[in-house]
Amino acid sequence: MLQSISFCLKELVVPGAGALLIGFLANLARHYIRRIKDERLRQLLLELVQAAEQIYYGPGKGTAKRRYVLQQARQRGYPDVTRQEVEAAVHQLNAAQEHTRHNDGAAD
């Protein structure tokens, strides 16, 4: 009887644990891949925002800049970029520029 209980446990526990481990590793891989894609998109948006700032220099051209960024993102395989993502990139770029200006001014 003890052997049959041991056999049943081996038949149920080992495959179940294997399935749980495979599920966990698959979820971990999906999360990692999503994080890489998100980081690539953030970097691309920063570059596109910088380019738009140079192409459409000056105030009052936000719509043209945003249109340029969204169009370029679509051409590079990111068709679902939102306005909020673009605005976040603009904010991050402005914060980095302000930080640079502040540090340059402190050195004088």
For 29, half-sphere exposure in the C-beta direction (CA atoms, 13 angstrom radius) is: 6
Average pLDDT of the segment spanning 5-15: 68
Is pLDDT at 14 greater than 90 in this prediction?
no
**pLDDT-based confidence at residue 105 (cuts at 50, 70, 90):** low
Proportion of the chain in helix, strand, coil states, percent, rounded to 5: 85, 0, 15
**pLDDT-based confidence at residue 8 (cuts at 50, 70, 90):** low
- pLDDT tens-place string over residues 20-79: 778 777 777 777 677 778 889 999 999 999 999 999 988 889 899 999 999 999 999 999
| Spatial distance between the Cα atoms of 104 and 93, rounded to a whole number of angstroms | 16
Q: Which residue has the higher pLDDT, 105 or 108?
A: 105
| Spatial distance between the Cα atoms of 56 and 91, rounded to a whole number of angstroms | 17
